[in-house]
Amino acid sequence: MDSNIILGCENLTKRFESTLALHKVTAGVRKGEILGLVGENGAGKSTLVKVLAGELRPDSGSIVFRGKTVRWESSNEALREGIGMVHQRPLLVPEMTGLQNLFLGKEYARRGLLDEVAATEASRRLIEKYPMYPDMDLTKTPKEMSAGEKEILAILRVLSYDPEVLILDEPTASLPRQETATLIEMIKKLNVERGVSIIFISHKLEEAFGLCDRIMVLRNGKYVGDLMREEFKRERVIRLMIEEDISLFYPPKTEEVGPVTLEVTNLRAPGVNNVSLEAHAGEIVGMYGLIGAGMSEVLESVFGLNRITGGSIKLKGEELCLPSVSVMKRKKVYLIPSDRHQLSLFRNFNVMENMTIAHLASLLPETIIDSAKEHKLATNQANKMTVKCSSVSQAISELSGGNQQKLVVARWLMEDVDILMVDDPTVGIDIGAKRDIYLLLRELTRMGKTVILISSEISEILGMSDRIYCMKHGRITGVLTGDQMTQENVLRHIL
Amino acid sequence: MSVATRISAKSRSWFVDFVKDKELFVASILMIFVFSIAGTRFFTLDNIANILRSVSIGGILTLGLSFVMITGDFDLSFGSATGLLVVIEMIMLDQGVNMWLVFLVMIVLGLVWQFINAMLVVKVRMPAFIATIATWNMARGLIFWITKGKTFYGDYPDAFAFVGRENILVFLPTCAIIFAVLAFFAYMLGNHTKFGRHLYAVGGNPEAARYAGIDSDTVRILAFLMSGLAIGVSAIILGSELCCAPAGAGDAFQMQGIAAAYLGATVFKPGSVNIGGSILGSLLLVVIENGLVMMNVPFYYKYLIQGLIIVGAVSFITIKKRNSSIAIQSKI
């Protein structure tokens, strides 16, 4: 390994259940360097820095710090040794003042009583030492601070430990342009004046180009290359971020689409800004953007889960006044939400109960649920959808991730569907289950159904969609069809 | 969709499910065994009737509490609410109001009481613990205000005692039959109807329930109303059993109900409160209490044991849940 490397790793592998988040990654930040870490959603950037900062333990491979192999027992140990990490969303206590947040966990006290004077003095010294926003008002609480001030406060808190390496996980993600510029300036000064080595994660390439000495690209948990300052070119980085082999893995696309089934016009809702889109029968409509760009929010609003503040939704030409989940279910419009553990599965229910829960009134209308009938319905559906379980009475915790996901899909396909909205259906599932879900979605369009698909994987969106809506900050930034559907085009619209 | 493992259409027999999480059964059988050896009067017809009589009020209230707890809420007020209703019941009877009308009023007041709790918890979104601690104290306050802290004695029709004090058959107490009927209905409602399924869904994963199109607010309010019904019925029986209204009436059932529900949460659907478990838990608790009385153990040990049972059962559930929990997926 490069002897200049202050913090690095060798052959680092980390697995979450069936997902390989990091696969034999060897990387590192050199002394005094600003290293940019870029890659798609789910490329493993956050996982990598969390392992480096002791928040996650690697499955295999080693971490090297100051030339020695280390094993962090906790993130606190890493922090004490000189590795400071600021999370994507700053972890601050909203009700406490900036000063209290700054020294949270190591408060200044005298004879058991908190010493505000000493803390203020210490904060002054800290701000003097590190060129960070000298006129920051620490009497304000995070609630009263701007996004940028909160970010700086979080960085200052880490700096109070005098780290040698500072890790910043998307510090500019939620900042307006002006504050971003200020923050970038400060990070640069921190590096030049205090010699702090920095790992900087960002989705905004221009920002990384302006700040970093070197950029490293991760893709699907693997290291794919790094570029020095003189090699910084948008096209080059994007090409590295992209998967080369969009294999023949995806089923063939639709040749002819039917009439419009869903028409959304100027939709406004929490996280959704004037979104208009339409979907046709027999078509898979893809939606793609960075995490938090508003794709899920669009589908949730259409499904009646979020309150709509403006715009209209038409189903087969008929306008809906107030969409609600029960109305949508009656109209045969279903949403399969993204996080199956949080939003779909009932751990206290077995496979059968998890399957029938959304259709009790229509499929099992008897006052006393006909358990033989329920059992038969669920068993048939499990077989049809190849949900592998010993019996439908099995606990869902005993199912693999892929089978759990198939179960969720099976739940919504127990009854006839017209429009199926699917939010990132293949996260953390094995390749076989992925393939099954792809075939199933295609099968639906062949039967003249409409599918709207959100995915965090760009290759999946490209491989599955007949048309792609690109999103950024709650808005649609582009619609791509046919030959326009390339990774370069998509990334251009969402970044 | 090529290779599919076919699932046999035969469901797992109830016996397998029954024996799978059998800790509570082992405990009950052991307990009864100990008592029958230690106290010679344990297995007499009189004593069994006694046990059945003592289980009824607490058991009915536990059923009500179970509905509330299944949806993930909690209620600390039902004991004193029952006491308050008993006071109102005895005063109305003393005033010569028709007995059946009084019974109807009890049911209505029970429903109103839990409707208030439901509004605070479900609509205002107060934490159930705080909301029902407050209403619990309000009930206590009302009782003392009405009775001035003294036991209220009044006139009542002779037929009144039938509910709480007499037997319907030779040795079967009327109240035990009421409990049995309600337990049956609660069990069917909880485990074999859409409403029951929705209760468990809301309690198991409220977000997923919302995404599945279940109106969880309505489900939670209805669960509170079930408990309101239980409070009404219990007040009728308790008034009839006491034939007076002590200022502390109903209080003892609060802890008993919580202990029984948690004890029941260790069986059938381990880790979550369930109707079947609550029925069994109520019975077991009364058996323990009765056994101790038979062995001449002082009554105040009852509180110690209830506390121990809550600690034991909840630790058991927590540990079991922790061990079986799958690793939380972190965002990559």
- Encoded tokens for B83: 């006491």
- Encoded tokens for A412: 């919504």
Residues A94-100 have a mean pLDDT of 88
Determine, for residues B213 and A382 on separate chains, whether the beta-carbon distance falls below 8 Å: no
Supply the mean pLDDT for chain B: 86
pLDDT at residue B319 in the model: 80
DSSP A415: S
DSSP B24: H
- Chain B residue numbers touching A305 (CB-CB < 8 A): 210-211
B 134-193 residues inside an 8 A Cβ radius of A: 188, 192-193
Nearest C-alpha neighbor of B201 from the set B188, B214, B189: B214
Cβ partners under 8 Å of residue B37, min gap 6: none
Condensed to tens digits (0 to 9), the pLDDT of residues A451-473 reads 999 998 888 899 899 999 999 98
- CB distance from B15 to chain A under 8 Å? no
- Chain A residue numbers touching B193 (CB-CB < 8 A): 367-369
Q: Which of A42, A386, A397 sits opposite B324 (nearest CB)?
A: A397
Distance from CA of A376 to the nearest CA of B (A): 7
pLDDT at residue A246 in the model: 45
CATH number for region B41-249: 1.10.3470.10
Statement: residue B231 has pLDDT above 90: yes
Domains of chain A: 5-241 (3.40.50.300), 260-494 (3.40.50.300)
Determine, for residues A305 and B324 on separate chains, whether the beta-carbon distance falls below 8 Å: no
Hey, is A161 helix, strand or coil?
coil
- Confidence band (pLDDT; 50, 70, 90) for B266? confident
- Give the domain ranges of chain B: 41-249
Condensed to tens digits (0 to 9), the pLDDT of residues B127-171 reads 999 999 999 999 999 999 999 989 999 999 988 988 888 887 777
Q: For residues A276 and A261, give the distance between their C-alpha atoms in angstroms, rounded to a whole number.
A: 14
Statement: residue B1 has pLDDT above 70: no
Q: Which of B3, B193, B272 sits opposite A367 (nearest CB)?
A: B193
pLDDT at residue B332 in the model: 25
- Confidence band (pLDDT; 50, 70, 90) for A18? low
Nearest C-alpha neighbor of A355 from the set B312, B299, B197: B197
Q: Which residues pair with A335 in a beta bridge?
A: A421
- Chain B residue numbers touching A221 (CB-CB < 8 A): 332
Condensed to tens digits (0 to 9), the pLDDT of residues A280-291 reads 999 999 999 987
The CB-based long-range contact list for A115-124 (8 Å cut-off, 24+ gap) reads A122/A160, A123/A99
What is the percent of chain A with per-residue pLDDT over 90, rounded to a whole number? 41
pLDDT at residue B39 in the model: 65
Output the CA–CA distances (angstroms, integers) from residue A190 to A20, A129, A185, in the order listed: 35, 10, 9
| Selected residue with higher pLDDT from B43 and A27 | A27
Statement: residue B17 has pLDDT above 60: no
Determine, for residues B332 and A344 on separate chains, whether the beta-carbon distance falls below 8 Å: no
Other C-beta atoms within 10 Å of A73: how many? 10
Distance from CA of B325 to the nearest CA of A (A): 8
Residues A39-54 have a mean pLDDT of 86
Condensed to tens digits (0 to 9), the pLDDT of residues B181-210 reads 999 999 999 999 999 999 999 999 999 999
Q: Testing the interface with B: which of A306, A360, A426, A446 to mutate, by most B Cβ within 10 A?
A: A360
Q: For residues A337 and A409, give the distance between their C-alpha atoms in angstroms, rounded to a whole number.
A: 10
Q: For residues A313 and A334, give the distance between their C-alpha atoms in angstroms, rounded to a whole number.
A: 15
Distance from CA of B265 to the nearest CA of A (A): 12
Nearest C-alpha neighbor of A475 from the set A294, A296, A242, A304: A294
- CB distance from B332 to chain A under 8 Å? yes
Q: For residues B192 and B198, give the distance between their C-alpha atoms in angstroms, rounded to a whole number.
A: 11
- Encoded tokens for B332: 């990559």
- Confidence band (pLDDT; 50, 70, 90) for B18? low
Q: Could you tell me how many CB contacts below 8 A there are between chain A and chain B?
A: 120
Nearest C-alpha neighbor of A420 from the set A358, A349, A463: A358
Helices (H), B22-77: 23-38, 45-70
What is the percent of chain B with per-residue pLDDT over 90, rounded to a whole number? 57
DSSP A339: -
DSSP sequence for A83-94: EEEE-SS----T
Statement: residue A474 has pLDDT above 70: yes
- Chain B residue numbers touching A42 (CB-CB < 8 A): 332
pLDDT at residue A261 in the model: 94
Condensed to tens digits (0 to 9), the pLDDT of residues A101-126 reads 888 888 888 888 888 888 888 888 88
Q: Which amino acid is at A19?
A: T
pLDDT at residue B6 in the model: 44
- Chain B residue numbers touching A347 (CB-CB < 8 A): 204-205
Statement: residue B14 has pLDDT above 70: no
- Confidence band (pLDDT; 50, 70, 90) for B40? low
Helix, strand, coil content of chain B in percent (nearest 5)? 70, 0, 25
- Confidence band (pLDDT; 50, 70, 90) for B325? very low
Sheet holding A197-201, edge to edge: A83-86, A165-169, A197-201, A34-38, A214-219, A222-228
Determine, for residues A369 and B197 on separate chains, whether the beta-carbon distance falls below 8 Å: yes
Residues B97-107 have a mean pLDDT of 96
Other C-beta atoms within 10 Å of A122: how many? 17
- Chain A residue numbers touching B204 (CB-CB < 8 A): 346-349
Hey, is A311 helix, strand or coil?
strand
Give the angle B264-B269-B272 at the CA atoms, nearest 5°: 65
Other C-beta atoms within 10 Å of A370: how many? 15
Statement: residue A408 has pLDDT above 60: yes
Query: E strand or H helix at B77, and its extent?
Result: none
Determine, for residues B211 and A344 on separate chains, whether the beta-carbon distance falls below 8 Å: yes
Condensed to tens digits (0 to 9), the pLDDT of residues A320-329 reads 888 889 899 9
Q: Testing the interface with B: which of A326, A357, A400 to mutate, by most B Cβ within 10 A?
A: A357
Residues A305-316 have a mean pLDDT of 91
Cβ partners under 8 Å of residue A55, min gap 6: A75, A85
Condensed to tens digits (0 to 9), the pLDDT of residues A170-198 reads 888 777 778 888 888 889 988 998 889 99
- Chain A residue numbers touching B268 (CB-CB < 8 A): none
- Chain A residue numbers touching B213 (CB-CB < 8 A): 325-326, 328-329, 358
Output the CA–CA distances (angstroms, integers) from residue A169 to A73, A84, A198, A202, in the order listed: 21, 11, 11, 7
- Encoded tokens for A136: 């920051």
pLDDT at residue B5 in the model: 40
- Confidence band (pLDDT; 50, 70, 90) for B21? low
Name the pTM for this structure: 0.76
Statement: residue B272 has pLDDT above 90: no
Q: For residues B297 and A434, give the distance between their C-alpha atoms in angstroms, rounded to a whole number.
A: 64
| Selected residue with higher pLDDT from A431 and A437 | A437
| Selected residue with higher pLDDT from A395 and B113 | B113
Statement: residue B292 has pLDDT above 60: yes
